[in-house]
Amino acid sequence: MTILTRRSTLLGGTALGVAGLIGRASAQTSEITIGITISVTGPAAALGVPIRNMVELLSPEIGGLKVKAIVLDDAGDPTAATTNARRFVAEDKADVLMGSSTTPPGIAVSNVAFEANVPHFSFAPIPIQPGREKWSVVMPQPVALMAKGLFDHMKRTNVKTVGMIGFSDSWGDLWLREFKAQAEPAGIRLTADERYARADTSVAGQALKLVSTRPDAVLVAASGTGAALPQIALRERGFTGPIYQTHGAVTRDFIRIAGRAAEGVIMASGPVIAPELLPATAQVKAPGLAYVNAYEGKYGKDTRTQFGAHIFDAWEVLKRTVPVALKTAKPGTQEFREAIRQAMLTERDIIASQGVFNFTATDRYGVDDRARVLITVKDGNWALVPGSAS
């Protein structure tokens, strides 16, 4: 596989203009070009670096054709992600777009994909507006699915009140929306909604406010290493109740940074974080182990992340859809991009490390309960919450 890593340069023109350019300039090629924009630097680097690392371990061919993967860093900035995506479309004539690794730039890439008519795999949960979902699919589990696991656990353990602290962006907004949609109808009351920026280095004030409301539990709607800040601050200020974290926080760096404060946390997670602990009947176990063995074989024990698995799973989807698309069109053409999009709707039960994918015209996540487990931290290591694996 040809892997290119380079800096972004600003492209002029609108995304609609780019769509016209790619239509005029497309020509058949003998390789598949994939443009990948992720957060390799910045506060969300813990999410993007595992994706970049995984690229070189993926199959260099899909459907018998060589793959050219081009990786650009957007540092978590939606403007940079937009620039990168437009460059992939206009200059590289990409057959597929991938990225980003956090929600705001992921939304930006989705907008370019929709306007340029290019299949897009997001590595971050993104809200897709009705009518604009045609070209994007989302590899992480939907927030609604992961939230259900956490809220069901709260109900089982008699949690009645919850304080929430989350990022002051669309990721925090998504979780607040799900709390109102799922937890409140179940009789769980929100005592406070505190926010902080991804680049903040302290949440002491927010933690004090949360503790003062005396919630039964706290929900942290954050991701990457930034999710450890409230975990530490709450324990330091005497909060002894359960702390729930989203799947955006499930990294070894979280355990390392949070230290003893991480013990007992309850997290929604994709099953790939602990495939060894899954029952033999779990369909995701074998691909999960394949990803873990490849990644940790290169980068060492316990370096696995959900985020590296998202691009592994995108490759699994392409392995099923590209051969179908090649029956009607060749790479480098708009017909090929359309054929990939159509194949995503017709191929069923695509088994991968994080779930079994069945995309539809309206369900752009395509997963069910097989894509979720609940995990905790016990003695500095991951452990499954009993009864949480499908």
**Are 2-141+293-368 and 143-269 equal in CATH topology?**
yes
Position of tokens 């992340």? 305
Domains of the chain, residue spans: 2-141+293-368, 143-269
pLDDT (0 to 100) of residue 3: 75
What DSSP character marks residue 310? H
pLDDT (0 to 100) of residue 389: 63
Answer for the pair 217, 238: CB distance below 8 angstroms, yes or no: no
For 304, phi then psi, to 5°, come to -60, 150
Q: Which residues are CB-neighbours of 30 under 8 A, at least 6 positions away?
A: 65, 66, 331
In tens, the pLDDT along 79-105 reads 999 999 999 999 999 999 999 999 899
Q: Nearest 5°: CA angle at 16, between 13 and 20?
A: 95
In tens, the pLDDT along 66-82 reads 999 999 999 999 999 99
Amino acid at 164: M
Identify the architecture of domain 143-269 in CATH.
Answer: 3-Layer(aba) Sandwich (3.40)
Domain 2-141+293-368 has CATH 3.40.50.2300: yes
Q: What are 286's two structure tokens?
A: 């074998």
What DSSP character marks residue 279? -
Q: For the chain, which residues score pLDDT lower than 50? A: 7-25
pLDDT (0 to 100) of residue 129: 78
* Strand partners of residue 138: 122
In tens, the pLDDT along 195-242 reads 999 999 999 999 999 999 999 999 999 988 899 999 999 999 999 999
